[in-house]
Structure formats: C-alpha cells, structure tokens
C-alpha cells in the first residue's frame, strides 16, 4: 500500500478520521509519559536545568525525517502528494520569539497544555484559556498585522534547497545536528546543575 493512503483512495474519510484520533492517542500518551504535562520540566529547558524537551523534539524530528525519506526511497510513500508547510520567514522568526517568551512564562506549548489539562494540572487549564484569548486577539484584530503576517513569503523552502545539496545529505546533516545538539545541551545541563537533579 503506497501512502498517503487517503490521497491514493485506499481508505475512506471515516477511516482517516478514526486514524487521526488513534494517532492523537499515541501522541498524547507519549507526551504524558515523556513528562511534558509538567510545566516545571518544560520551563526547565530555558534554564538548561532539564533538557529533555529539546532532546525529545530533536529525536522526534529526525525519526520522522529519516522515516519519511526511507519510505519514499522504498517506494511506499509518494512525497509528491504531501502537504509541505510554506515558509514565511520573518513572521515565523517574530512569532517564534514571542512564542518562546510565552512558553517560558506560561510553562507550556499548545500540545502539552492540552495533555496536561486532562491530567488535572490547573496551570495548564488557565494556559489553555489564555491561548484561546490570544488566538482570538490575533484573528479579531487581524487587519493590524495582516500585511506582516503575509510578508516574506518563500513558499515551500527546504534546507536542501537553501544550501543546494541533496535531500538525503540534508537529512544526514540535520541528524548530526540533532545528535550533537542533544549531547551538547545535556553536557551543559550537567555542568550547571549537576547530574542528580
């Protein structure tokens, strides 16, 4: 069976929706078991006190990247039927900076706040309330940032295209970056906070 299954007409819309719920269950289960329902752990990233969050993120990214590329090399996945996210560089940099401030202040990101909310974390419930307000603020006052939001549009723009290298080589380099980034951050954590924290 060649993926994406829904776009190749192998499964129905109903099965696709059911799969979305089941994949969500896996995602939510993994977030909780990785400790991501704990705002202290997430915020600990920004003090280098606990670097599990970036280690999990880097591992997830490289797992998915290698897996998807491998499936396409095996002819099991048609990358041409993929939805690639477009790059709007400047809005993403500014959005990312504000996002990071909000994450350090609030102790969550959207996915982790949802996962934490259902396990009873009151700070996560308040964070989700704030998120709803913040996104309404963006949408209701949209004319104020409409122009900026749509600026610096680069379409689908990948690292292999940026450096003009082969896609497989780009994935290899990103994997190296993830491994050495994770090891480096862990080293800093131990240096600043010791091994037993």
Partner 1 sequence: MKKKLWDPIFGGIMIGIAMILTFYISGRGLGASGALTAFAASIQNIVAPSLNQSSKYFSKYFANGANPLNDYLVYLVIGVMIGSFIAGWVSKDLKFEVLKGPNISSKGRLWYALIGGILVGYAARMARGCTSGQALVGGAELSVGAWAFMFSIFAGGFAVAYFIRRQWI
11-30 positions binding partner 1, by CB under 8 A: 11, 16-17, 19-30
Nearest Cα residue to 44 out of 112, 129, 117: 112
Contact flag: residue 37 with partner 1 (CB under 8 A): yes
- The CB-of-154 to partner 1 minimum distance in angstroms stands at 7
- In angstroms, give the least distance from the CB of 191 to partner 1: 16
195 makes contact with partner 1 (CB under 8 A): no
Which residues within the stretch 121-150 sit at the binding site for partner 1 (CB under 8 A)?
121-124, 126-140, 142-143, 145-146, 149
According to the binding rule CB under 8 A, does residue 189 interact with partner 1? no
Scanning residues 48 to 87, which ones bind partner 1 (CB under 8 A)? 49, 52, 54-65, 67-68, 71, 76-77, 81-87
Beta carbon nearer to partner 1, 82 or 180: 82
Least distance to partner 1, CB of residue 184, Å: 13
- Closer residue to partner 1 (CB): 110 or 191: 110
94 counts as binding partner 1 under rule CB under 8 A: yes
Record the tokens describing residue 138, joined without a space: 């963006």
- Say if residue 116 is exposed, middle or buried (CB neighbours under 10 Å; 0-12, 13-18, 19+): buried
Nearer to partner 1, 27 or 180 (CB): 27
Per DSSP bridges, beta strands 153-155 and 87-88 are antiparallel
* 162 contributes a contact to partner 1 by CB under 8 A: yes
In whole angstroms, the minimum distance from the beta carbon of 194 to partner 1 comes to 13
Residues 6+ apart with CB under 8 A from 182: 51, 54, 55, 58, 59
| DSSP code per residue over 21-79 | HHHHHHHHHHHHHTTTT-HHHHHHGGGTS--HHHHHHHHHHHHHHHHHHHHHHTTSB-G
Residues 6 or more apart whose CB falls under 8 angstroms from that of 94 comprise: 148
For the segment 96-125, give every residue that binds partner 1 (CB under 8 A): 96-124
For tokens 């995602």, the residue is 27
């Amino acid at each position: 069976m060649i993926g994406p299954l829904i776009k190749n007409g192998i499964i129905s819309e109903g099965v696709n929706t059911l799969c979305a719920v089941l994949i969500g269950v896996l995602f939510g289960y993994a977030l909780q078991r990785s400790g991501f329902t704990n705002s202290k752990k997430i915020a600990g990233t920004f003090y280098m006190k606990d670097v599990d969050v970036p280690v999990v993120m880097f591992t997830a990214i490289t797992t998915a990247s290698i897996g998807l590329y491998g499936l396409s090399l095996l002819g099991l996945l048609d990358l041409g039927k993929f939805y690639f996210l477009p790059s709007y560089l400047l809005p993403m940099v500014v959005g990312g900076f504000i996002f990071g401030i909000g994450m350090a202040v609030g102790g969550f990101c959207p996915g982790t706040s949802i996962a934490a909310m259902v396990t009873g974390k009151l700070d996560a419930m308040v964070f989700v309330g704030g998120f709803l307000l913040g996104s309404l603020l963006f949408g209701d006052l949209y004319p104020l940032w409409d122009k900026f939001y749509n600026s610096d549009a680069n379409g689908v723009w990948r690292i292999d295209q940026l450096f003009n290298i082969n896609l497989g080589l780009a994935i290899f380099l990103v994997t190296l970056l993830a491994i050495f980034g994770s090891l480096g951050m862990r080293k800093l954590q131990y240096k600043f906070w010791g091994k037993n924290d």
